[in-house]
Structure formats: structure tokens, C-alpha cells
A and B are shown apart, each in its own frame.
Chain A
Amino acid sequence: MRLNKYRILQFGSILVFLSILFGLPAARAEQGDPRDMLIQTVNEALDILNGENYEGLSVDEKNERLLALVESRFSLNILIQRALGRNWRNLDDEQRTEFKQLFSKLVVQTYSDRLAEAGDRPEFEFAETIELPKQRLEIQSKVDYKDDTITVFYRLAKRDGKWEVYDILVEGVSLLNNYRKQFDSILRQGSVEELLKTLREKVAEF
């Protein structure tokens, strides 16, 4: 198993090398099994959070790197839009851009905050990948978190050659649905501007 994974990685690195050599910028997003890509991303994220090489960085700097890392491999566009659902239509271009920036920041901050709080480098164990209808995938993982084992499922879909992470389920609870209900509730009582203000304050809290 270990050997097998190593060989896949080796093969992958040759591919990456070749694509750089022949200048195929699109190939990076195209190549690779999404599960391998996710495992690698999670490992690199844990390096940023707990690794020795990053010890001097502030929390803000770490989170910035995490977001850059995630965005270089995956797209969060669908996740962000779905969090607003029907309300997405009520945002103008400028508001959409700001919402995207703030919400993706919030998701990454939440994730890193949890992992940093878990103390030592948490153990991730990636189990099976389930194929959902319409060529969507659910990549299942378990994390040893404090004294418990928590399931984290990532739902992915390929759009325009890039893998979208369109939902994350923690212990079966959809992060997306949880945020959508919150945004729905806030927008029922207030304006888009108020929602953005709440988001700005929340992001600044970390």
C-alpha cells in the first residue's frame, strides 16, 4: 500500500515536471486523482499549521498561506455561491467579490483554528471514496481530534477542469447547509450590507 502510493506520487511528480517543461499551465489542474490531491493538500496544510518551517509565522500569515494553498488546488466557488443560495442573486458584482473573499477566509480560519486547537498534529486517515450521481465524489476521512475520532467527508465535483469542493460534512453535519441557514436568517432580518458587516467582524475576530 505504502509502496503503491509512493509510486503514484513519483509518477505524479514526473507528470508535473513534464507539464512545466512543455508549458501546459492547464495540465496542473487536470492531472491527478482528487483523493491524492486532497491528501497532499491536508498534509501540506498541517505542515503550515504545525511544521517547524513555519514556526515564525503569525496566525494571520499562516491562514493566508493556507488559503493560497487550497485555492491553488481546489475551487471554492460553488461552495461560496451555494452558501447564499437564492440570495446570491441579490448581490451585485462588488458585493459578490467581497463575499467570496470574506467567506473563503472564514472557512479556512475555522478549519485551521480547530486543527491548531487539537494540539499535536492530528492524525488524518483517508478511507474510501464514494461515487455520487452526476460524477460527484465524496472523499471520506477520519480525524483523531482530542479524545474523539471525528468523520470529515469532502464532496467534490469537477467543473471547467478544476475540482470544486462543494461541501464539507463534519460528523454528517453539512457545513454548507449550516451556513446557508445562518445567511438565510440574517438576510430575512437585514440587508446584504449588514450581512457583509457581520462577516467582516467575524473574520477580524480570529
Chain B
Amino acid sequence: MLLCGILIFGAGCKTTTNNQASTAPSASFGENAGDEAWEEFEDEVAYTRHYDPFEGFNRAIFSFNDGLYDYVLGPVADGYKWVVPNGVRNGISNFFDNIRYPIRFVNQILQGKFAEGMKETGMFLVNTTYGVVGIFDRADEFPGLDVPPEDLGQTFGVWGIGNGPYIVIPVLGPSTARDIFGRAGDRFADPGSYLGYWQWEAAWSARGVDNLNALPGRVEVYEAITGSALDKYTAVKDGYLQLRKKQVEE
């Protein structure tokens, strides 16, 4: 039994656990029968690795951000939701999503996803014209053109570059070394950054509107993840890393 503890995946142990399970009374609640059965499922755990050498520092920034959500961003998001109707908020968010089309397209090409790049272009054209400069998202009517969005962090992942250390950014929240570089690189494909060259006021107000409008959604996701968490920091870290892993894979 002790040996079994050491060799979790040992073939000899597997039979022991199986025998135990089959002779044990049915696994109903309240009894602790079949108690080591979880080991049979360990082959499923191919999940995220948490490389977090700056955990102490990250936790400090995380708790700052957490307070910011509670006392500033949450109330601001609620106020914004109260003033601006849902339909308008969706329109603004669709508009900014549509404008960021070059980021998605460039990364689809960098990942060799040429068919997806064509579909993304098609979606951009449909939303820009039929969707009235992107205010309406017509993806529902053209499900064939709806492809997963790509960014440079994902592209690095597809190229085989690992996450590197996990890093919590003030205000912005969870990221990794790889994704920070990705974010910086994506600026080159972001039309918003070029607007800044000749009209920086317009560029900054656009960015402000974009961020404010996206806030309620971000607060909601944050609350959904942390609301049922026992260790908020770890829950957000794992949620972020799992989500990015899935996005790189698809």
C-alpha cells in the first residue's frame, strides 16, 4: 500500500486498486469505499503547469487589483451599465472587435492558418458593410466565417514558445512573459496605434471608450472565477493559463 503511494502509475498497483474497488460496496455517499479510485483517472491530467517564480510579488499586485475591482472598477462598471443600454454596449464592443481585424488576420497567417485568414477577412467585410461599420456582428448569420480569434501570444505558443513566468500586471491582471511580448507586438497590427500618429487625442479617447465599454464584461468574468474560489489568486492564475492553453491549441 505504501509502495502504491509512491508508484501512482505503477501497473502492479493498478490491479490492487481495481480489486479493492470491485470488492468494495457500491460507492454511495457518506461511505468512503473505493477511496483510491481517483488514481485511475490520473491519465487525464495533462493540464496546466504553473511556473510562478515571482509568486510573492504577483500576489501583492493581485490583491491590489482585487481591491481595485471591488472598490473602483466594479462600481464604475455598474454605473456604466446603468447609463448605457445593453444594445449600445454591444454595438460599441462589436465595433472595436471589428476594427482589430488586422491583429487576428496577421496572426492567422503567421500560424499558417490561411483558410481561417480568408474567413476572417470575409467576416470583416460582412460586418463592415452589412453590419454597418461593425456595429452589428453578423457571425450568427454566417457561422461558416466565424473562426477563433488569434493573437501574437497564441502565435508564439503555436511556434513552440512556452509561457515563461506567470506575471500579474497592475490593473490589467493575469499574463505571462510570452503574452506580454505578444501584446506589445500586436500593437503593430492595431489600427488604433496608427491613429495615434496623427491624432493622439482621438486615439486615446477611442482607447478609453473601448476599455470602459469592455469593463462590465471583464468584471463579470472576474467575479465568476473568484466567486466560488477558495484561493482567488490560484483560481485566476489557473483559469488564465488553461484558457490560453486551449486558445493556442485551437
What's the dominant secondary structure at chain B's contact region? helix
Closest to A175 in B: B228
Interface pair A88/B38, CB less than 8 Å apart? yes
> Separation in Å of the A90 CB from the closest CB of chain B?
11
- Residues on B with C-beta less than 8 A from A162 are 26-27
Determine if B50 is an interface residue (Cβ-Cβ < 8 Å): yes
Closest to B44 in A: A167
- Residues on A with C-beta less than 8 A from B41 are 78, 82, 157, 166
Determine if A58 is an interface residue (Cβ-Cβ < 8 Å): no
Bits for A96-121, please: 1 = Cβ < 8 Å to B, else 0: 11001000001001100110000000
Interface pair A146/B220, CB less than 8 Å apart? yes
- Residues on B with C-beta less than 8 A from A134 are 43
- Residues on B with C-beta less than 8 A from A59 are none
Interface pair B47/A177, CB less than 8 Å apart? yes
> Separation in Å of the B60 CB from the closest CB of chain A?
16
Determine if A159 is an interface residue (Cβ-Cβ < 8 Å): yes
- Residues on A with C-beta less than 8 A from B26 are 160-162
Determine if B97 is an interface residue (Cβ-Cβ < 8 Å): no
Determine if A10 is an interface residue (Cβ-Cβ < 8 Å): no
User: In the complex, A27 Cα to B235 Cα: how many Å?
Assistant: 39
Interface pair B230/A173, CB less than 8 Å apart? no
- Residues on B with C-beta less than 8 A from A161 are 26
Which parts of A147-191 form the interface with B (CB within 8 Å)?
A: 147, 155, 157, 159-162, 166-167, 171-174, 177-179, 181-186
User: In the complex, A82 Cα to B239 Cα: how many Å?
Assistant: 18
Which parts of B1-60 form the interface with A (CB within 8 Å)?
A: 5, 8, 21-22, 26-30, 32, 34-38, 41-45, 47-48, 50
- Residues on B with C-beta less than 8 A from A97 are 30, 32
Interface pair B50/A181, CB less than 8 Å apart? yes
Interface pair A172/B27, CB less than 8 Å apart? no
Interface pair B242/A78, CB less than 8 Å apart? no
- Residues on A with C-beta less than 8 A from B27 are 75, 77, 159-160, 162
Other 14 A-B pairs with CB < 8 A, given A113-B228, A159-B37, A186-B230 = A75-B29, A81-B38, A85-B38, A110-B228, A160-B21, A160-B34, A162-B26, A173-B238, A178-B235, A181-B237, A182-B235, A184-B234, A185-B234, A195-B230
A contact residues vs B (CB 8 Å cutoff): 71, 75, 77-78, 81-82, 84-86, 88-89, 93, 96-97, 100, 106, 109-110, 113-114, 134, 146-147, 155, 157, 159-162, 166-167, 171-174, 177-179, 181-186, 195, 198-199, 202
